[in-house]
Amino acid sequence: MRACWRLGGLPEYAPLRLREWTHTLGYRGHILTKSRAYSTTYAALRAERAHHMGHADTPNAIVDRQWRYVGSGHTPGAALIAAGLASDIVLNREIALTEVRIADGGAAW
């Protein structure tokens, strides 16, 4: 990431917009958009995996190809747990900061 950021600051690499893509290490494409000539295709990998798992030779195998979005985020119970953990983290940081200030003789930060 550092190299991507450093190179993105050089004028000759400005058209690549590397700093905007540092979080992806400069790679702006999606993994599924790779070239068919790369080495293999995802279709070939899926077929090989199915053959390896023994699904390719099973004509009556049930394959679910219908996906639907069911939501995101925490369940209500998980949200309560997450909120409690966040509260604990804030409290622990406040206590730690108070302890450091006491150890430093009450110095202002």
Quick: pLDDT tens for 33-82. Answer: 555 566 677 778 888 887 887 765 666 766 677 777 777 888 889 999 99
Closest among 65, 63, 64 to 55, alpha carbons compared:
63
Calpha distance 20→8 (Å, rounded)? 8
pLDDT, mean of residues 5-33: 78
Global pTM value: 0.34
- Note the pLDDT of residue 24: 73
| DSSP letter (8 states) at residue 29 | S
